[in-house]
Amino acid sequence: MALHKSYGPVAAVRGIDFALPVDAYVTLLGPSGCGKTSILRMIGGFETPSSGRLLLDGADLDGVPSAARPVNTVFQSYALFPHLTVADNVAFGLEVKGRGRAEVAERTANALALVRMSEMASRRPNQLSGGQQQRVALARAIVNEPRLLLLDEPLSALDRRMRKDMQIELKDLQRRLGLTFVHVTHDQEEAFALSDHIIVMNAGRIEQQGTPEEIYRRPATAFVADFIGGANLFAGPIVGLGEGVATIATAFGPVTAPAVAGLAVGADAALCLRPEMLAPAAGGPLAATVRHVVFQGADWLVELEAAGRSVALRLESERGPTVGDRVDLGFDAAGAWITAGAPVAGDARDGH
């Protein structure tokens, strides 16, 4: 509640408030330096808030050391003990707490079974792949039966194929355990694949939180629209308002579309058009020139210049356009979105 964290003169977290849904997969998503890891470390007890309160199941965590909190963390580096076997790594926390030998053995075996690592129990970390080490780190965290599991960029060291496999396993594990997972990442695709609830961070503040679909289709700010999925953003003032819609003056003319609440006539705003929303259309409002074409297997990613700025288009066709082609682009205004705030100056997608 009203959580702040400063490191000397640098404010890393600036008065944020959020409640974690029960038994959900929650992602703190944002660029490097936005404050997401500081939040995770404060929840885990590795950092002390400069001000504000942290409550877990109604209990204040102020002054509670990390080892005494019903919270466990899976670190980016996994932090496995290289001289211990897989089973001993998982059992370590229980042994430190003085649990009986039979209980340690049973809970260790159950945790390894949950992450499908029972057959690797006698191996050491250097005999495991990155994905297997990740599973051991998860087993070591869940064996303590925490109320909350924190994951700090846990997939960043894995290759693309392994990351996708582990995303499925993480989400499946969260559902089977019935725990709340809080996962920190800067990877939008990862956040969308895993999350029930996403909290988008920027410069120490929460820009928006909600389901992946809400954040993608109805971004609250130009920052969220751009950071999530790389929207085409056309800045302009609001020139009209209606029930649930607004009219924005853009470089290629006025557009009336669904809009975020709270806009006012004259306010800076941005028209958000996702790359998949645009399509070639004879006589369409956006006259464009093809600058780059990239084949991506299922479709083509086309970069064009239109209205004095760079525009991205996803095109499903057997053949892509040719660099230098002139193309008219159209879109369905009912599927567009007008969001608050102008795009950040210097953003390549804004053409500045």
pLDDT tens sequence across 19-47: 999 999 999 999 999 999 999 999 999 99
Asked if residue 70 and residue 98 are part of one domain, the reply reads yes
Task: Say yes or no: 21 and 160 in one domain.
Answer: yes
247-279: pLDDT as tens digits? 999 999 999 999 999 999 999 999 999 999 999
Kindly state whether residues 39 and 180 are assigned to the same domain.
yes
Q: Is residue 349 part of a domain?
A: no
Domain match, 313 and 334 both? yes
Long-range contacts (CB closer than 8 Å, 24 or more residues apart) made by 133-137: 133/78, 133/80, 134/74, 134/78, 134/158, 134/166, 135/169, 136/78, 136/80, 136/86, 136/89, 136/90, 137/74, 137/75, 137/78, 137/79, 137/80
- The closest of 149, 155, 203 to 174, measured between CA atoms, is 149
Asked which of 27-31, 158-162, 198-202, 268-272 is least confident by mean pLDDT, the reply is: 158-162
> Which domain does 263 fall in, by range?
222-340
Last residue within a domain, chosen from 191, 213, 235: 213
Residues 297 and 331 in one domain: yes
> Could you tell me if residue 350 is inside a domain?
no
| Residue 256 and residue 120 share a domain | no
Q: How far apart are CA 301 and CA 304, in angstroms?
A: 10
Please tell me the predicted confidence (pLDDT) of residue 12. Answer: 95
pLDDT digits (tens, 9 = 90+) for 270-313: 999 999 999 999 999 999 999 999 998 888 999 999 988 899 99
Q: What burial class does residue 84 get, using C-beta atoms within 10 Å of its C-beta: 0-12 exposed, 13-18 middle, 19+ buried?
A: middle
pLDDT tens digits, one per residue of 38-90 = 999 999 999 999 999 999 988 999 999 998 899 999 888 878 999 999 999 99
pLDDT exceeds cutoff 50 at 347: no
State the pLDDT at residue 150: 95
Cβ distance 50 to 44 under 8 Å? Answer: no
Are residue 250 and residue 165 in the same domain, yes or no?
no
pLDDT band (50, 70, 90) for residue 350:
very low
31 belongs to a structural domain: yes
pLDDT for the residue numbered 155: 85
Q: Which of 213, 232, 262 is the last residue of a domain?
A: 213
Judgement on whether residues 76 and 171 belong to the same structural domain of the protein: yes
For residue 97, the model assigns a pLDDT of: 87
CATH number of domain containing 255:
2.40.50.140
Identify whether residues 94 and 240 lie together within a single domain. Answer: no
* Number of domains comprising the chain: 2
Residues 155 and 277 in one domain: no
Residues 66 and 109 both lie in one domain: yes
At residue 217 the predicted structure's pLDDT band, cuts being 50, 70 and 90, is very high
pLDDT at 176 over 80: yes
Domain for residue 348, yes or no?
no
Look up the CATH number of the domain holding residue 91: 3.40.50.300
Mean pLDDT across the stretch 180-208?
Answer: 95
Answer yes or no: is pLDDT of 352 > 60: no
Residue 345 lies in a domain: no
In a domain, 308, yes or no: yes
Residue 298 lies in a domain: yes
* Distance separating alpha carbons of residues 25 and 167, to the nearest angstrom: 11
The answer as to whether 11 is a domain residue is yes
Q: Do 186 and 282 share a domain, yes or no?
A: no
Choose the final residue of a domain: 186, 213, 240.
Answer: 213
